[in-house]
Structure 1
């Protein structure tokens, strides 16, 4: 009955949904209604950084839900979970990123940051990268190229140019008419593409030269995923605006765009209420986000072990069908032959109790982005299943 009502009443975005009936979650595992356990190698597309039902997050959510939930999240009330999370977050960021605007999602963080950049610079032009994904609302979707996923919804936002990631020639697109350059610190849906350090630093310099703001999207790359709390720490670059979501909420809907106080003040006048939200920064979501960030920063081993776990995956995943493995910490793309092969491996893994997926702009690669809490033994088991599925 549940499956029938799911197909009847829940809006479908693909013709063949996985259709797993989830009854529970525990650590790196999801459990279906028949009691079958699935090791989750995608963590809800990077959301469950601490795994499913992490005790600290569950306790924080329950405590806050029993205290108060929705009030008025922006502009008037001082809400403890918001203030505590923003304070702790800014303590782990460069001094120039000291002001947080909470949203419900990564897409909304992108939208808010684009508005802020236009307001601060008085310009309309935006530059983003090819094969980048920053969200599905109309403004965020305007940053997407190729247009396969957006053409049916045109016209979208005008004035958006696209440079090639890691290509110096694209710097010429950043001009005095550019309000902001929006980049993923590590490209996700391309199938994990890291920037050249020199290139990202050149983008930073070019933004400074023409007065454009640099917006770095760490919606998937943040919260320890790449081996540091934030991926930009590895490249000697500090953005003007930082985008966070997914793992930031510890399983609850939460995003943010973070900037300097003087930049963010532009939303307070001409017009007043320049950007508002009903639920962004909901107290329960912020409580979950606070528990997540506290856990990540108190338990140093969680992030410190990312590199050795990445190396273990790479050491074990050796098979004639694997053409390439690209990784950035506990986040990798395992490239096989074509989409038919990817679908076959995903289906075989699911039968064996392992959840993996593909990428929006790369149908040749398997997505691996497990909870950071995954153990060496669980990695070994998961790799064994992957290799078996490739060999079937």
Structure 2
């Protein structure tokens, strides 16, 4: 199958995913895979998850869509779950990019300032505002002029603290840089950034909804952002995003200041409500325990392999940085043959984002397959030298 009618904006693998059950996916040739991608950190609860599926099915028998001109009890319920007992309000969007766009607008409007500090190797989305805050020249190439007033600093670098001045509207960062190579922020550095900021914006699009073993990754670092954004895992596969900000910011986001036709769609909200009600302290404790086993296995089975430069990340968000002799896409295709789906990230990194509900047997089986493939490729490189 070769796609003929879609812009070639994606480099696609030559098979289609047609079904999923639990933490396994099946392609159009009938091959089944253990999934270490979760749809790029989206399907944190796996596939055909009974409670989420039941909530969506029930909502489909009622209203699918209504405009945001009317009160909406379901939206408010999901917003309340996101606020989690704090004095915060929620703006719903359709994606993480849109949520970050809303955060940029709110920060500028509330403060009356324009300057934004972001970080090299970050990723915040592909609309003009979100892309302009993304520290990746490859993603920005060909789209100049970008949104002005945005500057960049080096992540995890104390010199960045000097760039945080009262002239800024906000600082935006990922607690773990995903697309840039799965680099986790250092606790002391993140806390210093938070303390110095007039307004901190934290992008939890990939790191939120239990991915690091915490409800939102910033909670595991003791941070207190003014605004955070979340998407991807929020509705386990249905398109939704959200910007969550302090209640006092509402003075800058009144009627007509921002909006979206489809944001807060009823079907997506039904899924999001079920996701958030299942994201319990007990589940998060289990995720942290399972992640500990995974990191122990990585340390003993994968890290000693000669082509592995380093392993970075947090919780079930993992980056295996590879020697340039072994292109990451070569590893991904070999793993597909072995029945394991994985991802790439910057810095020639093999990125792992398994569903957070995956059990230890499957998690460790996946790590063993990665060790097997990397060991084989190391042998092949050594033989060819």
Could you say whether these structures have the same fold, taking a TM-score greater than 0.5 normalized by the shorter chain as the test? Answer: yes
Aligned to 1:18: 13
Does residue 1:279 correspond to 2:269, yes or no? no
Within the candidate set 119, 132, 144, 2:109 is matched to: 119
The answer to whether the 8 A contact 2:204-2:228 is kept is: yes
1:302 to 1:11, Cα distance in 2 relative to 1, 3 A: farther
Q: SS of the counterpart of 2:135?
A: coil
Deviation at 1:339, TM superposition (A): 7.2
Mapping 1:83-94, distance limit 5 Å: 83-91=76-84
Aligned to 2:248: 262
Deviation at 1:307, TM superposition (A): 3.2
Q: SS of the counterpart of 1:333?
A: strand
Does residue 1:79 correspond to 2:65, yes or no? no
Aligned to 1:57: 52
Does residue 1:144 correspond to 2:134, yes or no? yes
1:245 to 1:338, Cα distance in 2 relative to 1, 3 A: same
1:201 to 1:308, Cα distance in 2 relative to 1, 3 A: closer
The answer to whether the 8 A contact 2:294-2:367 is kept is: no
Distance 1:19 1:103 in 2: 32
Q: SS of the counterpart of 2:107?
A: helix
Which deviates more from structure 2 when the two are superposed, residues 166-175 or residues 250-259?
Answer: 166-175
Deviation at 1:65, TM superposition (A): 1.2
1:55 to 1:302, Cα distance in 2 relative to 1, 3 A: farther
The answer to whether the 8 A contact 1:313-1:379 is kept is: no
Q: SS of the counterpart of 2:177?
A: coil
State the TM-score, normalizing by the size of structure 1.
0.91
Within the candidate set 208, 233, 245, 1:247 is matched to: 233
Mapping 1:1-392, distance limit 5 Å: 3-4=1-2, 7-14=3-10, 16-72=11-67, 74=68, 76-91=69-84, 95-96=86-87, 98-207=88-197, 212-268=198-254, 272-297=255-280, 299-300=282-283, 302-314=286-298, 315-318=300-303, 319-338=305-324, 340-359=326-345, 361-362=346-347, 364-392=348-376
Q: Deviations over 1:362-391 (max 9, x none)?
A: 2x2100110011122112221222122223
Aligned residues: 373
Distance 1:168 1:380 in 2: 36
State the TM-score, normalizing by the size of structure 2.
0.92
Deviation at 1:337, TM superposition (A): 1.1
Unaligned stretches of 5+ residues in structure 2 = 377-385
Distance 1:113 1:204 in 2: 16
Distance 1:334 1:37 in 2: 24
Tell me how large the CA RMSD over aligned residues is.
1.7
Q: SS of the counterpart of 1:24?
A: strand
Q: Deviations over 1:114-148 (max 9, x none)?
A: 00001100011111011100001111110122412
Deviation at 1:233, TM superposition (A): 1.2
Distance 1:312 1:170 in 2: 32
Distance 2:315 2:178 in 1: 12
